Amino acid sequence: MTYTPPPRTPHRRRTRAAVALAAASALLLSACTGSDSPSKDNGAAQGRPGASSAPPALPVELAISGPADGAANVPTAVDVAYTAKNAANVTVKLTDPSGAEVAGAAGAEGKGWQPAGQLKYSTKYTATVTATSTDGKPTTATTSFTTMAKPGKLGKVTSIINDKQIVGVGMPVIITFGVDVSKENRAAVQQRIQVTSDPPQEGAFNWFTGKELHFRPKEYWQPNTKIQVDARTGGTNLDGKWWGERDVSFTATVGPKFVMEVDNATKQMTVTQDGQLLRTIPVSLGRPKNPSASGNFIVMIKNEWEWFDSSTYGVPADSAAGYRTKVYWPQRLTWDGEYIHSAPWSEGDQGKRNVSHGCTNISAAHAEWLWKQTRIGDPVIIKGTEEQVKWGNGWTDWSTSWDQYVKGSAVPYVPAATTSASAAPSASASSN
Question: H or E stretch including 66?
Answer: strand 61-66
β 157-159/243-244 pair status: unpaired
Query: What stretches of 118-276 show up as alpha helix (H) in DSSP?
Result: 183-190
SS3 content of the chain, % helix, strand, coil (to 5): 15, 35, 50
β 212-217/173-177 pair status: antiparallel
Q: For residue 401, give every residue at least 6 positions away whose Cβ sits within 8 Å of its Cβ, in sequence order, or none.
A: none
Query: Contact 220/403 with Cβ under 8 angstroms?
Result: no
Using alpha carbons, list the distances in angstroms from residue 284 to 194, 280, 317, 337, 397.
Answer: 42, 13, 22, 16, 25
**Cis before 67 (ω within 30):** yes
Closest to 168 measured CA to CA, from 374, 311, 369 = 374
Amino acid (one-letter) located at 9: T
Report the alpha-carbon distance of residue 286 to residue 353 in Å, rounded: 9
Question: Which residues are catalytic, by number?
Answer: 341, 359
Query: What stretches of 168-208 show up as alpha helix (H) in DSSP?
Result: 183-190
Question: H or E stretch including 263?
Answer: strand 258-263
289 φ/ψ sector (left φ>0, alpha ψ -120 to 50, else beta)? alpha
